Amino acid sequence: MENGSLDRWLHRRRRKIGPPLGWPTRLSIAMDVTRGLSYMHHGFTRPVIHRDVKCSNILLDREFRAKIADFGLARILARAGESEPTSSVCGTFGYIAPEYVSRAKVSEKVDVYSFGVVLLELATGGGGGGGA
C-alpha cells in the first residue's frame, strides 16, 4: 500500500514522512476499519475474528483509505455472537482484551476491544492539525 501502515503515520520514528494526519483523514480511516470489521463479523455465515487489530495491521492506500491486513491469527467462529474456547491467546500486548486473556474465549468482542485501542491512538497519536 502506497502510504504504508497507520502505525507509521501515528508513531513517526525519527523520519519525516509528511504532515500529520488531519482530523478528516483520521475519521475516514476509523470508518474504513469499522466497515471492514463489520463485514468480517457480520458479512459471512461464520464470523471471521482477526485477533490482532492494531495500527501496524491497518494499511493505507494512496488516498489514505484503510485496509485491514495480516490475517495470520484470524479464526472463523462456528456461530455469530457466541464465544468459543481457544487453546492459546493470540495478539499484541496492549491491544488484547482483558476478558480474552482471563477466559481464553474468542468472540467478535476481541476485535472490538482492539479497535477501541486503535481509536484511542487515532485520537491522541501523531499530533493533530492539518495535513493529509
**pLDDT tens profile 93-131:** 999 999 888 888 899 999 999 999 999 999 997 554 444
CATH of the domain at 108: 1.10.510.10
1, three cell numbers: 500500500
* Catalytic one of 7, 52, 61, 70: 52
State the total domains in the chain: 1
Q: Which domain holds residue 61?
A: 6-124
For the chain, what percentages of helix, strand and coil (3-state, to nearest 5) are there? 40, 10, 50
**pTM assigned to the model:** 0.87
Residue 94 lies in a domain: yes
Reported as a single tens digit per residue, the pLDDT across 14-23 is 556 777 899 9
Residue 64 lies in a domain: yes
52 annotated active-site:
yes
Residue 34 lies in a domain: yes
116 in Cβ contact with 7 (< 8 Å): no
